[in-house]
Amino acid sequence: MTQPFLGFWETLKKPIIGMAPMDGVTDFACRSITAKHGRPSVMMTEFTTATGLFYAPEEILRDFEYSEIERPIVAQIYGNIPEDFYRATHVVCELGFDGVDINMGCPSKAVTQKLCGGRLITAPDLALEIIRATRRGIDDWASGQTLTDIKTPAKVIRVIEKMNAGRTFTRKKIPYSVKTRIGYEDVVIEKWVETLLTEKPAVITVHGRTLKQMYRGLASWEAIAAAVKVAQGSGTLILGNGDIHSLEEAHQKIEMSGVDGVLIGRGSIGNPWIFSGKMPTQEDRFKIALEHASYYDNGQENCPGNSPEIRKRDFKSIRKHLIGYLSHFSEAAALRHRALQALTFEELKQVLDLTKFGGHTE
């Protein structure tokens, strides 16, 4: 029986402890900080619309900015048109990503009402067609097909060339994977995984909630364990996701479910140390919070690729991370309240006032 192409996944030390893709969270700043201070096994971008890549490249391709420290780095895309996945996969390959992940788990109504994300669980034929289109995109690009050959708009090519400045890599196949849920309304994970396995993805990541649950209730690791049993002998790796708040808890869930590893999502927000198991000091928390915030500051020059477009991101993006950084110490709530009012990097720096620690930011 033909085995799936695993690519870089095959080289990762088991169990895999990776960072899950989160919309509005795992941007360039979050990934860079986490790679530097946590070193997860693998990282994924925020999901990006396969269709939108060709209509608003300056805005959408910004989500695909990355630095070498983040490798292995996987680009996640979503949509409902197979041909768009075929073309978008060419872009992912052209940008030098280590893999491409297909989002079949997002519960957002804005996404699912268009038969995208987790709604694809209810449309297995379309889901399989999307995987096949993605695989064809990888194969055709690896065989030498160019962005011009597939009639990519010149404005998209210009953005990609700018993003690729200084990078060197060879044409080669990259693995494709799927991130999904245990069902739509009911738990159908065994049948669903059996369906996905027919297209031999390198990895299937299973979030242990149904689409209707959104993020309510507890993730079912029993359902994730059932997915592992279905996949035994297939060659496809199964990763679990949901309700992991520490490295110790990650290993416990890996042991009980039999997964090849996990992707940690919300537990890593403002907590890059979760991947290393390190217990940060209060000074660590303040320093890294400021280092993270500096990526959103127009006056800073340390962003990946040093891209002016990247530095225009709204400074408010740091707020969700500050909730994680500024916790687990006395008077954290009061300080967090003040920090969340900061509108600039300098204001935040004044709130945290690292000078009393004798420290400095990078």
Does 322 lie in the same domain as 196? no
- CATH number, domain of 183, equals 3.20.20.70
Residue 163 maps to a domain:
yes
Domain boundary residue, one of 252, 275, 298: 275
Q: Is the peptide bond before 72 cis (omega within 30 degrees of 0)?
A: yes
The total number of structural domains that make up the chain = 2
DSSP bridge partners of 76: 101
For 161-196, give one letter per residue: b (16+ CB within 10 A) or e.
Answer: eebeeeeeeeeeebbbbbbbbbbbeebbbeebbeeb
Per-10-residue mean pLDDT of the chain, 362 residues long, equals 93 98 93 96 96 85 90 98 98 97 95 94 98 98 97 93 88 97 96 98 98 91 98 98 96 98 97 94 93 75 46 77 91 90 91 60 40
Domain boundary residue, one of 256, 275, 294: 275
Domain boundary residue, one of 275, 300, 317: 275
One-letter amino acid for residue 90 of the chain = H
pLDDT of residue 73: 98
Residue 288 maps to a domain:
yes
Residue 2 maps to a domain:
no
Does 269 lie in the same domain as 286? no
Does 239 lie in the same domain as 173? yes
What are 198's two structure tokens? 């027919």
Residue 6 maps to a domain:
no
User: In this structure, what are the phi and psi dihedrals at residue 99, rounded to the nearest 5 degrees?
Assistant: -165, 170
Does 153 lie in the same domain as 90? yes
Does 321 lie in the same domain as 193? no
Residue 4 maps to a domain:
no
Does 178 lie in the same domain as 64? yes
Matching residue, tokens 């509005």: 24
**Residue 29: closest CA among 69, 83, 57:** 69
**Residue 93: closest CA among 68, 67, 64:** 64
pLDDT of residue 23: 92
Query: Which residue range is the domain that position 159 belongs to?
Result: 11-275
Does 114 lie in the same domain as 55? yes
Helix (H, G, I), strand (E, B) or coil at 73: strand
pLDDT of residue 11: 97
**Residue 96: closest CA among 30, 168, 27:** 168
Does 44 lie in the same domain as 26? yes
pLDDT of residue 60: 81
Per the CB < 8 A criterion, the answer to whether 248 and 215 are in contact is no
Instruction: Give the tens place of pLDDT for each residue, 138-169.
Output: 999 999 999 999 999 999 999 999 999 888 88
Residue 160 maps to a domain:
yes
**Residue 337: closest CA among 347, 322, 318:** 322
The answer for 261, left when phi > 0, alpha when psi is -120 to 50, beta otherwise, is left
Does 253 lie in the same domain as 172? yes
CA gap 38, 69 in Å, rounded: 11
What are 155's two structure tokens? 């404005």
Residue 76 maps to a domain:
yes
pLDDT of residue 307: 52
Residue 114 CA to chain centroid, in angstroms? 21
pTM: 0.92
- What is the 8-class DSSP label of residue 207? E
Does 347 lie in the same domain as 243? no
Does 220 lie in the same domain as 246? yes
Does 105 lie in the same domain as 25? yes
Residue 1 maps to a domain:
no
